[in-house]
Amino acid sequence: MNAGLGTEAVVDRVSQLLHDRIGLRPELSLRGRLRRCIRDDAAARKQDLDAYLDTLLDGDNALQGLLNRVTVQETAFFRHPEHFELLMRDLLAPRDGPLTIWSAGCANGQEAFSLAMLLEELDVDGSVIATDVSTDALLRTEAARYTERELGGLSPERRERHLTPDGGSWLVNRNLRARVRTLRYNLIDPIPTQIRGGQVIFCRNVLIYLSPEHAEAFLARVADAMPAASLFLGAAESIWQLSDRFETVRAGDTFSYRLRPAVVTSGQPTGAGGVATARPAARTRQAASTQYQQTNTGRSLEAEVPVGAFTVGLTSTLESDDDVASALLLSRAGQQASAAGNAQGAVVAFRKCVYLTPSDPLAHLHLGLALETAGDHRYAQRAYAAARHALAQVDPAQVDLAAEGYTTSDLLQLLDAKQHGSRRANSDRQVLTS
């Protein structure tokens, strides 16, 4: 029994339970949502919080009901279309045998059906496995029925080809539904056999909700079970602080990830049968742990907005490992704040990053991006200038590694464009207020 526990103590216990059961990150930024979900679910069961906690601890049925409330089911058709364009252009070429695409964290199914549409339109023999820890999400995906408001991202041509109006909503056509299979899957569990043969993984805006240790373990399982698969992550996610087994594959203005080629060195430990164990041809985990990353959503360098992930790790030897480790935590908070639309929260986190690692140009860059989003163009311009100055002190070879495909020239072009844009916006604001 848990008689007499206060609300925050119950939230603490439930937060730990969700961390243990589904790997949910126990972040303060998620606490408000979790508190509301606990209260709503307890009220629906007509229980006080102490009795509700006992129910959660006693069985999985009650926990599943809470999971259905807590997990975020916000998505859209062809969200981040650059990923679909890359998939269509480079990864759906004719192949021997059928193609399997994994939509991990499928939410209400729009992503899975967007992928199925590409397969259908290109006449590719293939299917989509849509997984989620939420049974409500899987039921929505299986129903394949969407309101007018949920059709954002679909062109009129695709709507006409792939959906049928039905009683005030839209039903995905039968041939497309046949390409999508649903499966309940918890990302902290072993990867199911049905998924292991897949060639493409869409796991976008999912890892940001996992604790670092669970995200790291998930990526290790993917690397072991699906070594040939291309991995797509969300714009607010980066993985180099979690795994050194993947490399970025840049294609135009977007990115995917694939397993880094392995090398075998003399004297390396051998596995079963005396076969040498492959070691990733990459930075060691120790080196990766002294770096922190940020990501930013955008369109292209030409459009003055960066795309993809930057590894912020160009720090001076004067900056201690403790400072960089602290900056790692702050950068993740900044990523989450940006993804949630909390520009001021992102500014606070990235300011602290810059304080801890002042010689890192990418830290200044992301502070500038956050300030610009918050509307503070004057200080954004200062941050971009600081980034440009710091960039001039860094070995270009380090930039190519840390910026995940961008060169020093790319970043200078971006910073010049951003400084010009911030000056213009600041000038316009001064005119309006004079």
Residue 187 has pLDDT above 80, yes or no: yes
Q: Which position has the higher pLDDT, 123 or 328? A: 123
**Residues 306-322 pLDDT 10s:** 333 344 455 544 455 55
Say whether pTM exceeds 0.85. Answer: no
pLDDT greater at residue 239 or residue 311: 239
Residue 46: pLDDT band by 50, 70, 90 thresholds? very high
pLDDT value for 317? 45
Beta bridge partners of 181: 129
C-beta separation of 279 from 262 below 8 A: yes
Report whether 360 contacts 317 (CB < 8 A).
no
H/E stretch holding 101 reads strand 99-104
Task: Fill in the amino acid letter for 86.
Answer: L
CATH class of 290-433: mainly alpha
Closest listed residue to residue 329, CA positions, set 349, 354, 355, 309:
349
pLDDT, tens only, 359-383:
778 788 888 888 888 888 888 888 8
pLDDT at 108: 93
Distances from the Cα of 108 to the Cαs of 103, 131, 310, 343, in angstroms?
A: 11, 10, 30, 27
Tokens standing for residue 130: 């849509």
Mean pLDDT of the region 205-214? 87
The reported pLDDT for the residue numbered 219 is 95
Which sign does the torsion angle of CA 378, 379, 381, 382 carry? positive
pLDDT tens digits for range 138-150: 999 999 999 999 9
Q: Average per-residue pLDDT in the chain?
A: 78
The answer, yes or no, to whether residue 221 has pLDDT greater than 80, is: yes
pLDDT of residue 419: 67
pLDDT of residue 421: 60
C-alpha span between 149 and 77 (Å, rounded): 11
CATH 1.25.40.10 positions along the chain are 290-433
pLDDT of residue 277: 37
- In angstroms, the CA 24 to CA 208 distance is 9
How confident is the model at residue 396, as a pLDDT? 62
- The span from the CA of 255 to the CA of 80, in Å, is 12
Beta strands in 159-209 (DSSP E): 163-166, 169-172, 180-184, 200-203
Tell me how far apart the alpha carbons of residues 202 and 317 are, in angstroms, rounded to a whole number. 37
Residue range(s) occupied by CATH 3.40.50.150 in the chain: 81-255
**Rounded to an integer, what distance in angstroms lies between the CA atom of residue 92 and that of residue 80?**
18
Q: How many CA atoms lie within 13 A of 198 on its CB side?
A: 26
- Burial class of residue 226 in the structure, from the number of CB atoms within 10 Å of its CB (0-12 exposed, 13-18 middle, 19+ buried): buried
Domain boundaries 81-255, corresponding CATH code? 3.40.50.150
Percent of the chain with pLDDT over 70: 75
The contacts of residue 382 (CB under 8 Å, 6+ apart) are: none
For residue 194, is pLDDT > 90? yes
| SS3 annotation, 71-92 | CCCCCCCCCCHHHHHHHHHHHC
- pLDDT higher than threshold 60 for residue 294: no
- CA-CA distance, 329 to 348, in Å (whole number)? 13
Residue 264 has pLDDT above 50, yes or no: no
Residues 6+ apart with CB under 8 A from 128: 100, 101, 102, 103, 112, 113, 115, 116, 119, 179, 180, 181
Higher per-residue confidence, 356 vs 401: 356
Minimum mean pLDDT among 33-47, 116-130, 203-217, 242-256: which range? 242-256
Write a three-state SS string for 147-167. Answer: CHHHHCCCCHHHHHHHEEEEC
> What pLDDT band is residue 300 in, cutting at 50, 70 and 90?
very low
